[in-house]
Amino acid sequence: MILAETPRRQRVTKLSRWGHWFTFFNILIALTISSLYVFSSPAPSTAIGVAYLFSNWIGHIAFLTFIGFVILILPLCYLVSNVKVVKAAAALVAAVGLALLAFDALLYVKHGVHVSFSSAELVKSETRIMMDTLGWQQWGMLVLLFVVWLSFQLLLANALWKRIERFMLHRYAQPIGLFFIACFFIGHATHIWADANLYQPIVKQDDMFPLSYPATAKTLMAKYGMLDLANYEQRKALQLDRKVHQVNYPLKPVYCSVTPGIKAMFLWVESDNADELAVEFNLQSQGIFVNNPNPQSAWFSAQYGLPALYEGVVTVPPLIADIARNFNVPFMTIESAEFLGDSFWQENLAGIVIAKVPLKRARELLSHAGDTAIMMASAHNPAGNWYSNVISNGVSTLATAEDIAPTLLGLMGCSANIADYSTGQNLFAPSRNWTVTTAGDKVILLTEHERVEVDVLGNYKIFDLTDGTENSSELNTSLLSRAVKHVSRFIQN
């Protein structure tokens, strides 16, 4: 005896298959929307990183969309007998879900964060700004846009329902499903390897997509002797988190007084003869600073007291400019002073000045300086050293461009805690015998005798500070770990 399927079972089977195809087309839409995450993030620097990006992107977005189907739509296929109700509910779920994905993508593009409990205040603030700025016409357009979007989902649901038998005749479903599953598992397997090896082109993608929790297996690998957990933890402690989306600058409000009538100037001389000028004009302090491969980064560091790691992320004015304004102290930054005449300096040489000047202009400027406190550095460093010696009252101190702002604030009479606004130190009152900065993808630690360079994988090299030769000295892990924490403490997680 042949038993035919009951009408209910036929309806449930058809609805289930329809739901899978409806989910597939929404996966394609979700991938299109989520491309905002990919294109707004820096491209991976290696082929493995690019391969992981695409496999993780396709696998994760497909997984999120399919899980939404399994949790919210598939039960309706079995519980609700009215097909129209199921299709309408599925269209509404898809429309709302993809709208939330688009909102999250826009939030990530603007602020580098996803919708979560930790970003609730930011989301609330963005919503409040939107409500205050949009008029009723704009709100009407947004409502109309959602209605159009929901209508599209309803049309898609109905079109697929009418053609589901035609889709069932082809064997597309299995290879498509296997492709998404393969992308999902390849992405997670690759991340397990990358996490164990601290492979930054992959690891730094961890926060790119919403609800992303890439797989790790360090404990299991260590159990079977595939990973030295102690070595892993050491290398991880020496790595700098370069995923800087938001910055706490300053770390807390800075309050201090300023000496009335203060006049102080920092000159970045476009020459390697700063020593000669210092001797010629008997300056109280002079130095030859880092030969930064990106002069714009050094200019940023001179004003903010922060390494290049934070360039492009800080959105507030330099603290030194803010304090000068609050106390009515003239503050001026001049990035190109080549064509400024003597009368300009005679009229404007007051308060705080940070300027880049050619050698000839520096000599003319110093002749008008009078009682202005002068700090001077060379923008050139023919020896290629990563450090400088700044001479203050006969004391030689390591220095980087990050020390300029706290030193100038010290000359202004500001006694606020430097650690609240800078990674540098006051060169006239140094608090430590080491300094740390960043250069490209490296962290540079400078001590009295050595330069330690740490790359993105936590690997390091040690060089003699005098002649620049690499040596095999034992690494001071404790100091290096402390330095990495020091330079990264302004990163807002």
Domain ranges, ordered by start, for the chain: 7-227, 246-429
Q: Which amino acid is at 459?
A: N
Instruction: Give dist(CA 136, CA 139) in Å, integer.
Output: 5
Look up residue 63 and give its two tokens.
């997984």
pLDDT for 139 beyond 80:
no
pLDDT digits (tens, 9 = 90+) for 61-79: 999 999 999 999 989 888 8
As given in the structure block, the two tokens for residue 454 are 């740490």
pTM of the entire structure?
Answer: 0.59
Q: Are 305 and 316 in contact (CB under 8 A)?
A: no
Residue 94, pLDDT above cutoff 80? yes
Taking alpha carbons only, the member of 278, 260, 335 closest to residue 303 is 335
Q: For residue 179, how far is the Cα from the chain centroid?
A: 32
Q: Which two tokens stand for residue 371?
A: 């009682």
- pLDDT, one tens digit per residue, over 265-286 is 787 777 666 666 666 666 544 4
What's at 17, amino acid-wise? R
16 vs 139 pLDDT, higher one: 16
- Judged by average pLDDT, the poorest of 62-66, 171-175, 329-333 is 171-175
**Nearest C-alpha neighbor of 407 from the set 292, 265, 280, 274:** 265
Residue 25 — very low, low, confident or very high, per pLDDT cuts 50/70/90?
Answer: very high
Q: What are the DSSP E strand ranges found in 140-257?
A: 246-247
- Where is mean pLDDT largest: 220-234, 366-380, 478-492? 478-492
Specify the pairing of strand 450-454 against strand 442-446: antiparallel
If you average pLDDT over residues 301-311, what whole number do you get? Answer: 88
**Is the pLDDT confidence value at 439 over 60?**
yes
Residue whose entry in the numeric block shows the structure tokens 């620097």? 45
Which is it for strands 331-334 and 352-357: parallel, antiparallel or unpaired?
Answer: parallel
* Per-residue pLDDT tens over the stretch 377-400: 765 544 444 344 443 354 456 778
